[in-house]
Structure 1
Amino acid sequence: MLLKFIIFIHIISATIWTGGHLILALSFLPKALSKNDFSIIEQFESKFERIGVPALLILVITGIYMAIIYTTDFFEFDFSNHQNKHIYIKLILLLCTILLALHARFFLIPKKKIKQLAYHIGLVTLIAVLFVFVGFSLRSGGLL
């Protein structure tokens, strides 16, 4: 029963994280770019971060928990194992997300570089959708 609850919380958190980035990329970003108004992005981020960052942290914690439960010989880096392959892909996506977030936070946001930040937003949104796809592939028996 605990594992089912963990999976449910993981899915809810993924919905928040991915949905928030889709809304940002498809609604707020085009408006900010057309008006060349960085404050539109800042306003969205100030509201979304209150639920988005905790959702991401929950995703990481529940993801690690499920990785421990579902994998055998995790540190052998065996890409032929269905579960391991998907978990490794998710870890790579997480690393990409963290690197993009750090770059944006320290180099783009302080300088209010909206056009460069737009590429980051697009990439983080794509990565969020890929997270969902990889999770679906893992649970459905494999699309990868």
Structure 2
Amino acid sequence: MLVVLASIYIFFKPLNIKQQAFVDVPLFEIKDFTMYELDPTGLHTIMLGSTATRYSNRYTVKDIDYTDNKNKEYIANMQANNGIYKNDIVTLTGNVTYTRDDGLTFKTQKAVYNKKTSDVVSNVGYVAYMNDSVLRGSYIKYNNEKNRIFSKNVRAKIQLQER
């Protein structure tokens, strides 16, 4: 009997079971997602998507359509294939289109929008349109509240209008 126990101890080793810690588990997933953010002044933000996954610290949204109504003069709308909404920062990727009520539009592949500062930044190249004017550049930082654009490596085709 002792020989059998000794041979089991020598020849058989315990299974090494890999343990996995899940630290980023989705809380829930929603199809045809719509989120409204309200503050004391009224409707502040609308975020839509075909699918949204809620994690403990963020939302990930497919086919995101994000509208910021913070600046009552000009409403900004952003659409993209994917978006992440975390800590008042919206990160958009894939066919990003930024549109404003006054006709300003720009397209890029990645943009980051900061709700607190109203800045939208893209450093992967963009094409902007305003009326018949077209701008192309490698970097854009646009502030919706101050209506200011900072850009790098700009090529512009500007159509002047008579008054």
TM-score w.r.t. structure 2 length? 0.17
Give the greater-gyration-radius structure (CA). 2
Higher strand content, 1 or 2: 2
Q: Greater RCO between the two (CA within 8 Å, min separation 6)? A: 1
Higher helix content, 1 or 2: 1
